[in-house]
Amino acid sequence: MKRITKSSEETFDLGYRFGRTLGPGSVVALVGELGAGKTIFTKGIAKALGIREYRYVNSPSFVLIKEYKSGRQPLYHFDLYRLKSQDALSTVDCEEYFYSKGVSVVEWADRAPDILPEGHTLVKFRHLGKNKREIVFPAITFLT
């Protein structure tokens, strides 16, 4: 299923609606070029999870993961942008996060596809213009 958003607010709202469908142990893999809307979408997910500081969710580019625990479910926000090899992830017990009671969002998931658990949800982003984004989901009912 494909959606086109025409503003960061629409991308945020789509993330929010999607985030309302996520339960404990959900793993969301985000793939797309720089500036395609992955972090804005993640902010929407954070709001849906009740994370109080959702406005301050940002890309954890200089660390591999940021944890947000102020909501009804924790959000584990991974960013693999600066990952040079999957070996660098050996210091992070990804499975501990993926199989927890929280929701894991992995930006730049295509840089380490082998770490993703079976059953993760892949969301693809494409930059179509100044404010326009194409976001492709598996067929899920929250969008209808």
12-33 pLDDT, tens digit each: 999 999 999 999 999 999 999 9
User: Which is nearest to 111 in space by CA: 42, 40, 30, 41?
Assistant: 30
User: Which is nearest to 22 in space by CA: 120, 139, 108?
Assistant: 120
Q: For a pLDDT cut of 70, what percent of the chain falls above it?
A: 89
Tell me how far apart the alpha carbons of residues 103 and 80 are, in angstroms, rounded to a whole number. Answer: 17
Tell me how far apart the alpha carbons of residues 49 and 33 are, in angstroms, rounded to a whole number. Answer: 25
Look up the CATH number of the domain holding residue 128.
3.40.50.300
Tell me how far apart the alpha carbons of residues 9 and 15 are, in angstroms, rounded to a whole number. Answer: 10
76-123 pLDDT, tens digit each: 999 888 776 666 666 678 888 999 999 999 999 998 888 899 999 999
Give the domain extent around 83.
2-143
Q: How many domains does the chain have?
A: 1
